[in-house]
Structure 1
């Protein structure tokens, strides 16, 4: 598939079909931008694709194609209206825990919350300056409860049930009431949008927060990663 998208006229190849199903994690975007049949075009008649990158295209296309619902927008605005000059965001992806018992086990992340707090202590400009607001997003309710007391007057999170929308199968979903599932989805989407508004970001390695971070105006500015794979 990568070879087709990178070097062949896949638009002509797929034109006879009404639907073409592709499941991708982003690799095909870079391949398509190298395709000689595609990169001579202009996006929306303006941006030459020869000058495009995945980092440039993602926030542009995301904002063009997706609009948050009113309830998600209200949740984001509530946090952004909270008094602050710097929004420092933490995304703590623990893996299997009481909040998400069906998640994959990530044993190297057991002490990650504590290590992230230690990092903030060692870098006070990220957390301890006047008018800094700490936003916490996590797949673990315990991780959130561990962080908030350290910043009792300057931290915030999105309330609601924690669900992992990628790992909930239909059988499991039927066991939960619809109201809880909807509230969990609203929380996930609100978290995603807020993570794209931060001035400083401390992330665990997670596709969710990495893509959310790409929405930032300067995604590599004050970006710090906790990588348990090293």
Structure 2
């Protein structure tokens, strides 16, 4: 489990491509502290298991499914990546609940500076957009961000200077793809609602029921 607060940016040092998988070696510093083989590290929002360690880098396997559903397939040697270790039990929850299991990719279609903030317009498929709500949370390349506006084919986020400085967003340009993980809560609510309706014939969970009970 992660929070979406990036600890540092690393650099892809090696990419070993298999028939339908890959092994990434990523240069880093801070996330290597107290890290062991088998630990989880979020790389651009994707939970990867550490399979190799050195003093200045770690390695992780990337499976076929992950390559198909994320932007890891377009990484090259020298690419910067966002890194975050799994959240410790006694840590601060600075962002939101991020699982590291991305829902898919989006594309940056516009970047606009507004005083100190930078606005990103990100297009995505309807399957992803239905879980994105205004003022809700979304993880973009592993970064916990607040959704400013949602439209039928895209959504907007506003990024503060600190986030720009500490993440790879400052490297992004129009047309670049990003990994998107929507808020877990919406997906679980939808699943429970649909399961209840299928089991009982008609769900008792209605808008009126939720409003009455404080949702």
TM-score clears 0.5: no
Larger Rg: 1
More helix by share: 1
Give the structure-1-normalised TM-score. 0.25
* Greater relative CO (CA pairs within 8 A, separation 6+): 2
